[in-house]
Structure 1
Amino acid sequence: MTQNTPAEFLAAVDPPLVAILRGIVPDEAEVIGQVLIGAGFRMLEVPLNRPFAVECIRRLAGIAPPDVWVGGGTMLTIDDVDHVHEAGGRLMVAPNCDPGIIAHAKASGMLCAPGVATPTEAFTALRAGAHALKLFPAESIGIAGLKAFKSVLPRGVPLWPVGGVTAPSLASWVDAGATGFGIGSQLFTPGMTPKDVAASAHAFVAAWRARAAH
């Protein structure tokens, strides 16, 4: 069954792992996208601070089945939101918390996961309409910081650490309250072969499934 709204998608997505494809180029987008989808990833993000990002989003959106949502990262302006949306993107991811950008993306029907590093930013993002919170940079916030966020935020708010998360460390983050993750250089870096990306993708999905089974 197709999930048409961000809330419906979030309730059903499994695994809740975002593939961050920083530096991907159009000629490889479809192949890498198919590899990730085949491994089980259901969210693909192309950061806009690299060349050809919107074209990569367009190509990924073109091959994605209905239960896979593609979108942009490092979305910092209204124009960024509009360009990604026009390319077929349904995810809005940012490293920061800008209420105006969040609200515009939500009004466009996108799943909004802005970056937060403090409780003040977290509550600001939620008031603006964020569906999930990207805890960034996770290396600095740490597991203790994640537990603190969890203790004050409303029950059920999706918390996705991003930055430095590895397949072996994933379980510890889940134990602390993480409900999903954004995976960047541990999953994909420019120059990796599809075989290498597949191996990394399967490792992360297996780590999630192993922890979720407990």
Structure 2
Amino acid sequence: MMHPVPWPRVRRSLIAILRGIHPDEVEVIVETLIDSGFELIEVPLNSPDPFVSIERLCKRFGNDCHIGAGTVLNATDCARVADLGGRLTVSPNVDADVLAMAQARQLVTMPGVFSPTEACLALRCGASALKFFPASVLGPSGIAAQLAVLPKETVVGAVGGVSEKNLAAYRAVGIRVFGLGSSLYRPGMTALEVREAALTSVHAYDGLG
């Protein structure tokens, strides 16, 4: 088995989840996010023309941050993300074929898990990090109980119902990565609105110490 692609060394492990974003707005929104302090950008593949958005982002911002895809459900889509210059794949589930393709293409991976069985399977398949999803159902205590049986070096993220309001509660139990969706971006938001939400999230993250 190949060694997992390591989780990127970034100042803030905050993932901007841009579900529903359109290609014609994606550059101005992501420029705003980067200026606000984000380095991890996810375009879910159930967004309008997601590969167009990913290609545009990789060409313009690929050297400045990690651009990638979310809701990656098959190896073909995973390879396409790599072909466009993406460096990150996030999934709601654990799929061995997706993880194998991502490793072969040297993509950072973050599959979704909900149970110890899924978490251990994801690690065995070479996941870079685990995405506990939906975190709002498990809560900090539910994730903490599972961390007790996982390798100490495991990079663990919380996604789903995560916002600046509960970062501290998740960080307190050992969560290192946070995926921010509707608290950060919703279709129809202006760049100014996204900037305000992004700065609020960055401020909350920086306050964690």
TM-score band by shorter chain is: over 0.9
Structure-1 residue corresponding to 2:43: 46
**Residue 37 of structure 1: how far off its partner (Å):** 0.4
Greater percentage in helix: 1
Q: 1:112 aligns with which of 101, 109, 115?
A: 109
SS of equivalent residue, structure 1 residue 126: helix
Q: Which runs of 5+ in 1 are unaligned?
A: none
Match of 2:129 in 1: 132
Q: Which amino acid aligns with 2:103?
A: K
- Give, as a single letter, the amino acid of the residue that structure 1 aligns with 2:116: P
Q: Secondary structure at the match of 1:152?
A: coil
Residues 42-81 of structure 1 aligned to structure 2 (within 5 Å):
42-81=39-78
Q: Is the 8 A contact 1:100 1:128 kept in 2?
A: no
SS at match of 1:44: strand
Give the CA deviation at 1:66. 2.5
Structure 2 residue aligned with 1:188, among 160, 167, 185?
Answer: 185
**Inter-partner Cα distance in structure 2 for 1:14 and 1:123:** 27
2:26 maps to a residue whose letter is A
Change (3 A) 1:127 1:67: farther
Q: Residue 190 of structure 1 aligns to which amino acid in structure 2?
A: P
Structure 1 segments, 4+ long, off by >3 Å, are: none
Do the aligned residues in 1 keep the contact of 2:23 with 2:48 (CA within 8 Å)? no
- Compute the displacement of 1:130 (Å): 0.2
1:208 to 173, 194, 205: 205
The match for 1:28 is 25
Q: In 2, distance between residues paired with 1:40 and 1:50?
A: 23
With the length of structure 2 as denominator, give the TM-score of the two structures: 0.95
Q: Which of 118, 121, 127 does residue 121 from structure 1 map onto? A: 118
Aligned length: 206
SS at match of 2:77: helix
Q: 1:84 to 1:65 in 2, by over 3 A?
A: closer
Give the CA RMSD over aligned residues: 1.3
Distance 2:88 2:123 in 1: 16
Q: Which residue of 2 aligns with 1:166?
A: 163
Identity, in percent, stands at 43
Matches of 1:156 and 1:204 in 2, distance apart? Answer: 25
